[in-house]
Amino acid sequence: SFHITMHQDNNPNPNEQQSSQHHTSTSSQYRHSSSTLPSSISSNSYSSNSNRSTQHQSRSYNPSNMEVSRSLSNRSTLMLAQAGNSSTERQDGNRRYDHHTQHSTSTHHMHPKLHPQQHLYSRSEVDCPIAEGSKRTRWLKAGEKARENQQLVNNIAPFNWPSSHYGQIIYIDKATSNDVLENLLNRIKDVQVFTIDTESENRKSTSSATKQQQIPAIIQIQAIHNEQLATVFIIEAQHLPSPSSQCFESIKTLCHRIFSVNSIILAWGDPVKELAPFFFTNLFNINDVNDPSNKCDLQKLFTRFWNARHPHTSECLRHLNTLKKPDLHGLELICHALTDDLEDDDITYNINEDINDNRNGCICPDSDRPYKQNKTLWSLQKAIHAAFNMALSKELRLNNWTCGLDPELRTWSTPQDIYTRKRMADYAIHDVFGPTHIFFYLSTKMSLCSVSGLQSLKLPDSSPFPSSSPDNDNNNNTDMLDRQQKQKPSFFILSDSHGKFIQPSSTPNYTTYITSIPGLRWYDNKHIELSAIDLIKKPEITSFLSSCSVLVLLIGTNSTRSTAATQIIQQVQHLIENVRHDYKHLNDYQNLAVVLT
């Protein structure tokens, strides 16, 4: 664990002295209420750096001890520029801002709520104040989601990452000492894999054009040493030090170390989209974050993994076939079509589409396929529930995240404020622990380490959580399915649109997976998303090549219409050589079939 220190100004800014006076009026109630402070908070101790030099003194972080630190400069009040005036600046200590760099629109911090969803539980159609339209739907949906979350949390065990695996949360903000930052940099110097998440605060906008404004608040980062050890820290974007300070430079160095080309960034969703609202901080380089070789969207990977392991049932397939009959006339056009395929080729085809085609009309059980709509990605809460039978509470998701979670920022007024901030910090770090746990789970299920850019991560043999629990039927079914998959061959089919009516299937003797891409060719130097030679290097394809027993390539007329047969044969040979070189289990020269139809 880290010894967290905090700078204390000998000559605090007069404006800051005024902003800290709101603590004084409540000092008596702190003394009386300190006994009610949860033990998990009152037992935490911190140290205070009294003169920015080498002198340190320990202090127990308890409201009853607050009087000894009244002179501490409260630099947490967020002074904001007026929106719409690019020349307007504010002064906060030695720090200058304009409205381009600070997104907040309030002159003070709103205290967060301990139970922000409580008012949503009783929402119903009877008491809805909105007569009709999309606003009514959203109003009712918010209540429905809040009740679903409450029911989930009340009925199953909570998702929890033991504190023994990460120690204490380290807060990165203007109250963080240079010693803490240097120690943190030294601790993560050999770490290559990081999981990130962010939280923003919804504010009512003063502009009539926008009804709500999203204020970037915190970045949660988990530095993964191994499966049983991590370092966790939270960057508070609205409480950073002056850009001209040494502290800011140290934080920037830390971020450059994390978001470098040598790191792997994991996230539940696109890491770039997660971090984009925080580019205003100038703490990291967008080019490093945007490198496709060092980022991994676990949400897409899990969606594909789960749907591949849970194909449509035979009843559902029959039902889907009754909804959409094959166009036999279209199939006859194979020999006569003048276009590059049976359909109008869409060169923007999304290779990340669900290989099982989660079509409307799916009647599979919710336990197998909870999402019925096309291209629907899993929520983190549903993924944790399905994979581990645990509840990841989302109660605190909508809250005042710019409040200042770090106790050393002194943005709180009562012991209840401290406890609420601690709850929010725990919520925030579990939003990175969840994707990390899924990452290790997928690593054992689908050879994730073969995915491009992840080869450098060495996984330990043990896990902080069991992959399944004795009373978890879903997990037992998944593990049984895994054992069955190992005992029978699996066929991965990469096809152009000729294979669009081939359904994934699982029988006692084999399993088939299929990705059908309209317009697919053996090689296309203009549109690499339609080039099989390039596609086999994509993470979405390599995950299947790593685990399949047989690779089937159904690629035909798109290539032959515009390319000489001798060139096509060379392209096929080149593709097969690449597959055999990268996937030794497919390197069988005797079992190669070339079929001409």
Please give the share of the chain, as a percent, with pLDDT higher than 90.
19
Of 104, 257, 274, 271, the closest CA to residue 198 belongs to: 274
Chain segment 21-47, per-residue pLDDT in tens: 444 433 333 333 333 333 333 334 333
Per-residue pLDDT band at 596 (split at 50, 70, 90): low
The total number of structural domains that make up the chain: 1
Q: How many residues does the structure list for the chain?
A: 597
What is the average pLDDT across 191-195? 94
Asked, for residue 595, whether it belongs to a domain, the answer is yes
Chain segment 374-416, per-residue pLDDT in tens: 568 889 999 998 888 898 888 777 788 899 999 999 988 888 8
What is the pLDDT at residue 203?
76
β-pair partners for 47? 58
Residue 339 in this model has a pLDDT that exceeds 70: no
Per-residue pLDDT band at 441 (split at 50, 70, 90): confident
Asked, for residue 590, whether it belongs to a domain, the answer is yes
Query: What is the Cα–Cα distance from 364 to 371, expressed in whole angstroms?
Result: 10
Q: Residue 47 in contact with residue 207, Cβ under 8 Å?
A: no
Chain segment 575-585, per-residue pLDDT in tens: 888 888 888 78
What is the pLDDT at residue 396?
73
What is the pLDDT at residue 319?
77
Residue 346 in this model has a pLDDT that exceeds 50: no
Asked, for residue 255, whether it belongs to a domain, the answer is no
Kindly give, in sequence order, each residue whose CB lies less than 8 Å from that of residue 240, ignoring residues fewer than 6 positions away: 173, 174, 248, 251, 281, 283
Chain segment 562-576, per-residue pLDDT in tens: 788 888 888 888 888
Choose from 21-25, 107-111, 364-368, 590-594 the range with maximum mean pLDDT: 364-368
What is the pLDDT at residue 564?
83
Residue 158 in this model has a pLDDT that exceeds 90: no
Identify which has the larger pLDDT, 427 or 131. Answer: 427
DSSP, residue by residue, 335-360: GT--SSSSS---TT--TTS-TT---T
Half-sphere CA count of 296, side-chain side, radius 13 A: 27
What is the average pLDDT across 110-119? 72
Which structure tokens are listed for 55? 């002198």
Of 188, 281, 178, 172, the closest CA to residue 226 belongs to: 188
Of 489, 437, 394, 438, the closest CA to residue 303 belongs to: 438
Of 277, 143, 138, 130, the closest CA to residue 213 belongs to: 277
Maximal CA-CA distance, the chain: 89
CATH number, domain of 583, equals 3.40.50.12690
Asked, for residue 570, whether it belongs to a domain, the answer is yes
Half-sphere CA count of 352, side-chain side, radius 13 A: 14
Burial bucket for residue 532 (CB in 10 Å: 0-12, 13-18, 19+): buried
Asked, for residue 151, whether it belongs to a domain, the answer is no
Token pair 């027993």: residue: 549
Per-residue pLDDT band at 324 (split at 50, 70, 90): low
Mean pLDDT of the chain: 69
Chain segment 120-153, per-residue pLDDT in tens: 767 777 778 777 778 788 777 777 777 877 777 7
Element (H, E) at 154: helix 134-155
Query: What is the Cα–Cα distance from 95 to 72, expressed in whole angstroms?
Result: 18
Chain segment 251-265, per-residue pLDDT in tens: 999 999 999 888 899
Asked, for residue 544, whether it belongs to a domain, the answer is yes
What is the pLDDT at residue 489?
80
Residue 593 in this model has a pLDDT that exceeds 80: no
Residue 250 in this model has a pLDDT that exceeds 90: yes
Of 511, 485, 491, the closest CA to residue 554 belongs to: 491
Strand 511-516 relative to strand 505-506, pairing: antiparallel
Identify which has the larger pLDDT, 198 or 485. Answer: 198
What is the average pLDDT across 272-289? 87
Query: What is the Cα–Cα distance from 162 to 157, expressed in whole angstroms?
Result: 14
Chain segment 200-223, per-residue pLDDT in tens: 988 765 554 556 778 899 999 999
What is the pLDDT at residue 527?
78
What is the average pLDDT across 37-64? 37
Confidence (pTM): 0.56
Query: What is the Cα–Cα distance from 176 to 409, expressed in whole angstroms?
Result: 9
DSSP, residue by residue, 80-149: -PPTT-TT-EEEETTEEEETTT-----SSPPPPPSSTTGGGTT--STT-S--SSHHHHHHHHHHHHHHHH
Residue 320 in this model has a pLDDT that exceeds 50: yes
Identify which has the larger pLDDT, 59 or 261. Answer: 261
Asked, for residue 597, whether it belongs to a domain, the answer is yes
Q: SS3 of 278, please? A: helix
Residue 54 in this model has a pLDDT that exceeds 80: no
Residue 102 in this model has a pLDDT that exceeds 70: no
What is the pLDDT at residue 517?
81
DSSP, residue by residue, 34-88: GGGS-HHHHT-EEEEESSSSS-EEEEE--GGGGGGGTTS--------PPTT-TT-
Identify which has the larger pLDDT, 130 or 325. Answer: 130
Residue 474 in this model has a pLDDT that exceeds 70: no
Chain segment 282-309, per-residue pLDDT in tens: 998 777 777 777 888 999 888 888 887 7
Rg of the chain in Å (alpha carbons):
28
DSSP code, position 294: G
Name the amino acid, one letter, at 319.
H
What is the average pLDDT across 547-559? 80
Token pair 């889907």: residue: 320
Q: Residue 463 in contact with residue 523, Cβ under 8 Å?
A: no
Asked, for residue 136, whether it belongs to a domain, the answer is no
Q: Residue 98 in contact with residue 87, Cβ under 8 Å?
A: yes
Chain segment 447-468, per-residue pLDDT in tens: 544 443 344 444 434 333 333 3
Identify which has the larger pLDDT, 93 or 595. Answer: 595
What is the pLDDT at residue 462?
39
Of 370, 403, 349, 123, the closest CA to residue 237 belongs to: 403
Half-sphere CA count of 167, side-chain side, radius 13 A: 18
What is the average pLDDT across 51-80? 36
Range of the domain at 518: 488-597
Mean pLDDT lowest for which of 8-17, 131-140, 234-243? 8-17
β-pair partners for 89? 98
Report residue 474: phi and psi, to 5°: -60, -45
Choose from 227-231, 364-368, 473-477, 551-555 the range with maximum mean pLDDT: 227-231
Which structure tokens are listed for 170? 């380290």
